[in-house]
Structure 1
Amino acid sequence: MAHQAKSGQREREIVKQAERLARKGKVEEAITRCLEWLQSGEESARIHQLLGTLYTSSHNNSQALEHYSSAVRIEPDNSVYLALFAEALFLNGYVEEALGTYKRSLEIDGKNYVALAGLGALLCQHEQFFEALEYLQQAIVINPGDLYGLLWTAVALANCERFDEALECAEKALRHNPASADAQAMLGRIYMYLGDKDKARSHLTTAIKRDPAMGHAYALLASVMKFTEQDRWLIEEMEERLKDSLVAVVKEHIHFALGKAYDDLGQWDKAFFHYKKGNDMAVTSYDDTALKKNLKKTKGIFTRAFFERRKDMGVDSEIPVFVIGMPRSGTTLTDTILSSHSLVESVGESTLIDRISREYLAKGKLEYPESLPEVSGEQVKEAAELYLEKISSVAGQETRRVVNKMPVNFFHLGVIALMFPKARIIYLKRNPLDNCLSCYFQRFFSRRLGWSTDLEQLGAFYRRHLEFMEHWKRVLPVPILEVRYEDLVNDFDNEARRIVEFCGLEWEDGCAQFHSSSKGVRTASAMQVRRPIYTSSVGRWKNYANHLGPLIDALGKEARPFLEAVGERSPGTSRVGSILRRLVGAAR
């Protein structure tokens, strides 16, 4: 007993010493002190937990995981240790294990702030924003001034299109943490969504002043600016930042910001250099072979006969509207036109269809979509009703349509038609060269868009998306309105009216004044849709023609008509003309 008391007292002394050293910035010394204690043969969950925290602060996530695991092994029912272990699991890439461990922590203590905020943040990073809010809003009641919880709550609210609440949350974060660069950057992001360019620029500039290594703040600032020669100072500052010892993801953001700056200035080669650097640094993956298998599976399951046998399934609701197509094809513009109507709301780029299908339409050992031939009408109805329940959070009493503009929902049109036989589907299609280049120049948040960082993969994905759409047009019992982006910007009035009419709505003049709407826009096109219709993005690829060989090869026949059309109009002696003749020959 005396030995245990002495050991406990010594343990407390080591903890105090290590924490004191860490506060002074002597983290390595603090780690050494804790390791010496463990090497003496003593076991201590508290020392392991402290080592986990110290290693996390040193960005040594693998060592942190090891020590948090030991803490949990010694005290398996300690809710705090479980929550910290879950965070370490997530940082080391063990997402499912982290999810389960957070939930285990909350089973023991449902008011554990670390677990609630951590689980909410994890769900946000996997784009499950509606679910994330359930945990984050509990967290900020428990700890109302904590920066981490408030900022992730703002992220979730903004991604659920609840922009006023997101703004309030970010402002509260700044009030409680006035020196925070992260709070300034979050406010800048939300003001960008709301179309307030001046406030966005002010907050982002302040964020950069407080933390010059905040890469994403540079990228956001670049997106709200139109660079001129007067902004050379900012370009030079970003170029200087790239010489610093920054982590790769920060440099990646700065390269994209510089690409935007040089593009604005018409310095195409410099712009492409930085966009390529940023894309080459991105940690992404894309498996075209897997997507081809998915396409083959889709064609095998979703036939005309499949839909004919299930024509009585689903719910009789006209509320859902789905705007689909390649990212950067005009989906945001279409969504904004529609949501400017008094009877329309939008859930933005929501992953609800994908998640509900995978979670609620499985059957035994069969996963979605292989399970669909086996699921019952009741299962389909329940999934549809859950989707309607989730999107109701943005709908008012007068709302007649709710738009989901997740572009890659074209993968899920089969299940959409099954759940909502009266849904409206609007397909945006754009010149493949402009479309793919625009994707390449955009640093996407989503992990699902790994194909966007490589020109060859971009071309392959574009062709694959066409194959999906060709199949859906042949078999789907739900009508699809196809809108060409070039037609929309060149003949806006007629095309916009066609879109509104297709949705079963009467025209409102507000739809033509979409750029003046007070509603937020939470996508890569947030600033573009705040401008009246413009056509400068049509044919933009020609500025970069000499860099697009891999894309043109991958697009093959899809690129040829656009190359030939421009080649016929380009002077034979011009630089663009000679490049185009070479590329047309390569594409034949």
Structure 2
Amino acid sequence: MPTKEAQHNTLGKPALVIPAPHMNAGAAGSTNQSNAMKMIAEIRDQWSNGQQRKARKLCSRLQKQYPDLPDALHIHALMDHQDGQSSDAIHTLEKACNSPQSQSIYFIDLAAILNACGYESQAKAVLQQGLVRWPLDPKLLLQMGILLARGHTAHQAIPVLKRTIALTPNEWLAWNAMGAAYLAQDNINAAIYHFQVAEKRAHDAGHTDGLIDTRISQGECLRELGNLKGARAIFEDILARLPGHIRAWYCLTLMGKVAADHPSRKTMIDLAASNRLSLLPSGQKELLLFSLAKAHMDAGEIDPAMKNLAAANHIKRQSLSYSPQSIETVFNVTRAAFPASRFKDLEPPHDSPDQPSHIFVIGMPRSGTTLVEQILSSHPSVFGAGELDVLGYHQDNMVEFHVKQGRSRDAVLKFDDAMIKLLGDVYRKKVRDRITKINTSETDPNDFRRIVDKMPGNFVRAGLIALMHPNSRIIHCRRDPMDTCFSCYNRRFGRSQNFSYDQHELGAFYSTYLKFMDHWRNVLPAHRFIEVNYEDIVNDLDGQSRRLINFSGLPWHDGCLEFHKTERQIRTHSALQVRQPIYRSSIGAWRPYAAHLGPLMESLGITTNEQAG
């Protein structure tokens, strides 16, 4: 799972190697059982020899003869899934799982199909049911660990994967998933160690794909730590041997410009133009097309860049559930819950001798939030914690808990003072625990006076933030609307930015967000909330950096002007940019592509005259 942009999901692909039968003598008479086993063996042979049509025909005959036989149901479901009939496959596998003769492999493949269709919570429930029956089945444990090793549930994956490793210490996938779980918690040193062990286990097992995947995961970790030379060397080494490896190529394009004569560039262009593109899984298509768009943009090849970008965004959008109306509802409910009267007694923040205070950097993605965090984190008294999902996760959990206790959702979403205080206490504890584990600097975590959380989407929670901590500060980052939106549109995000893959939806979201921010601007006091423009930082780094540090309540430190020299883990698309001195080339970067951005400009209300300017 290394970066949030290129997570490698090992769950979601039920192995269409037809399994050996797990028949039970009591399931049928001995003659019938013998016949069924022969048919299953023949299906396996036909399938492995590339005779899929014959295998499917024989499978249909098998199920007609033995309609309730679990192995027949299992095989039929796998073939339905292969044919794109996933809902039928799910229904059939549920019958196999409910059979008295069911096997753990049925639960594993059902969970994989559910996960591949986007039903992650249902996939977890299926694996949990399987583990009730087979609590020490290492394959069930492994799949549960892989599924949990992402985002909010990564901490739950670790004990599951430890049990898996204890049972199967040579299983590279278990070590790889453990690395992903630690990385999701920003514990990059532990992640690298587990990826390295996973690489050795894959090597010992002769698993070439596993060996490459674990190497790429290590390269992505090095990239986050700023070891760009080491990361690039890994990706280039893989591409030298496998010029068509999509994930390695995608990671290389994130490292900066790729030479026009790079061997993999032509390989990837040819792949995208061939019939083989349609045979790739959707995730691989996305990586290929987004990375090709990046390579063409870097080379100034506007038309092919935008062709690939439009195709990549279309594929990504098809896999997502997004409702503009639900966003409007969230914003309206939030405005009603946090009127100006709730902030009239808000006092200026002050230093506490007992604990550091929190700074929240918010705004649209690609609006300069990483740059602001990097400037702040270059101060010796500031710890940059990156994009923390802590507040959103515990807010959602708390709301659901109260609703299950019988309170109406409308009442809960008003966020009474007791709920806000509890949320603040939980947030503070969880963040302190997190930074204690991930702090790699020489500074003791207790000596930091400020902790920066730069989750952009916390702009929805600015009212909560201002009330839950008496000393919290909020910095809202702004950037030119077209530059912001175009920068979102040409990126493949790992999570949460479901609005950014369609130009109309992206422009509409930005306009809605802009109006929503008017509310916080009107109700939050200036000593708790400021706004900073990306363009102002670029044009006046010294003045804007001093303004940020002054707002943070800290004495000036010259290191803030040399933010690009600060060594720290950065897990966003801006990781490379903020390791360079300030530059102006990102201002107006959308203009060469304007002819392809009509829907976005229309949605934002950008006129032809503004485009020319």
Normalising to structure 2: TM-score of the pair? 0.80
| C-alpha distance 267-550 of structure 1, shift in aligned 2 (>3 A) | same
Sequence identity percentage: 29
> Which moves more between the two structures, 319-328 or 489-498?
489-498
- TM-aligned CA deviation for residue 293 of structure 1: 2.5
Letter in 2 for 1:192: R
| C-alpha distance 187-108 of structure 1, shift in aligned 2 (>3 A) | same
Letter in 2 for 1:479: R
Mapping of residues 425-504 of structure 1, within 5 Å: 425-446=474-495, 448-476=496-524, 479-504=528-553
Alpha carbons 2:225, 2:570 under 8 Å: kept: yes
> Which moves more between the two structures, 168-177 or 433-442?
168-177
- Within the candidate set 567, 580, 588, 2:612 is matched to 580
- Within the candidate set 371, 388, 391, 2:428 is matched to 388
Alpha carbons 2:355, 2:446 under 8 Å: kept: no
The aligned residue for residue 242 of structure 1 is 272
The residue matched to 1:422 in structure 2 has which SS?
coil
- Within the candidate set 312, 325, 334, 1:298 is matched to 334
The residue matched to 1:74 in structure 2 has which SS?
coil
Mapping of residues 101-500 of structure 1, within 5 Å: 101-124=126-149, 128-178=153-203, 179-180=208-209, 181-208=212-239, 214-231=245-262, 233-244=263-274, 245-246=276-277, 247=280, 248-282=282-316, 283=318, 284-307=320-343, 318-362=356-400, 363-364=402-403, 370-373=411-414, 375=416, 377=418, 379-391=419-431, 392-395=433-436, 396-446=445-495, 448-476=496-524, 479-500=528-549
Number of equivalences: 558
- TM-aligned CA deviation for residue 374 of structure 1: 6.3
The residue matched to 2:590 in structure 1 has which SS?
helix
Could you tell me how far apart the structure 2 residues matched to 1:461 and 1:42 are? Answer: 50
| C-alpha distance 143-349 of structure 1, shift in aligned 2 (>3 A) | farther
Could you tell me how far apart the structure 1 residues matched to 2:123 and 2:116 are? Answer: 9
- TM-aligned CA deviation for residue 71 of structure 1: 1.9
Could you tell me how far apart the structure 1 residues matched to 2:518 and 2:38 are? Answer: 70
Greater RCO, CA 8 A, separation 6+ = 2
Give the superposed CA RMSD.
Answer: 3.5
Letter in 1 for 2:497: L
Mapping of residues 87-106 of structure 1, within 5 Å: 87-106=112-131
Alpha carbons 1:304, 1:475 under 8 Å: kept: yes
| C-alpha distance 111-531 of structure 1, shift in aligned 2 (>3 A) | farther
Q: What are the ranges of 5 or more consecutive residues in structure 2 without an aligned counterpart? A: 1-24, 437-444
| C-alpha distance 238-6 of structure 1, shift in aligned 2 (>3 A) | same
Alpha carbons 2:356, 2:450 under 8 Å: kept: yes
- TM-aligned CA deviation for residue 12 of structure 1: 5.8
For residues 469-519 of structure 1, what are the alpha-carbon distances to aligned partners after superposition, in whole Å with 9 as ceiling and x for unaligned? 111122236711211111222222332233233333344444433323332
Letter in 1 for 2:270: E
Could you tell me how far apart the structure 2 residues matched to 1:144 and 1:511 are? Answer: 46
For residues 321-345 of structure 1, what are the alpha-carbon distances to aligned partners after superposition, in whole Å with 9 as ceiling and x for unaligned? 2211110011112222333444433
> Which moves more between the two structures, 186-195 or 209-218?
209-218
For residues 227-279 of structure 1, what are the alpha-carbon distances to aligned partners after superposition, in whole Å with 9 as ceiling and x for unaligned? 34444x44322210112312344333222222222222223343333322322
Q: What are the ranges of 5 or more consecutive residues in structure 1 without an aligned counterpart? A: 568-578, 582-588
Could you tell me how far apart the structure 2 residues matched to 1:195 and 1:87 are? Answer: 35
Could you tell me how far apart the structure 2 residues matched to 1:380 and 1:48 are? Answer: 51
Could you tell me how far apart the structure 1 residues matched to 2:261 and 2:591 are? Answer: 26
Alpha carbons 1:227, 1:261 under 8 Å: kept: yes
| C-alpha distance 16-192 of structure 1, shift in aligned 2 (>3 A) | same
> Which moves more between the two structures, 544-553 or 362-371?
362-371
Q: Is 2:599 the counterpart of 1:550? A: yes
Alpha carbons 2:466, 2:473 under 8 Å: kept: no
Letter in 2 for 1:271: A
- TM-aligned CA deviation for residue 407 of structure 1: 0.8
For residues 82-138 of structure 1, what are the alpha-carbon distances to aligned partners after superposition, in whole Å with 9 as ceiling and x for unaligned? 344333322233333223223333344444434443334334556644444454454
The residue matched to 2:414 in structure 1 has which SS?
helix
| C-alpha distance 492-60 of structure 1, shift in aligned 2 (>3 A) | same
The residue matched to 2:273 in structure 1 has which SS?
coil
Letter in 1 for 2:305: A
The residue matched to 2:531 in structure 1 has which SS?
strand
Could you tell me how far apart the structure 1 residues matched to 2:65 and 2:131 are? Answer: 34
| C-alpha distance 514-121 of structure 1, shift in aligned 2 (>3 A) | farther
Alpha carbons 1:280, 1:453 under 8 Å: kept: yes
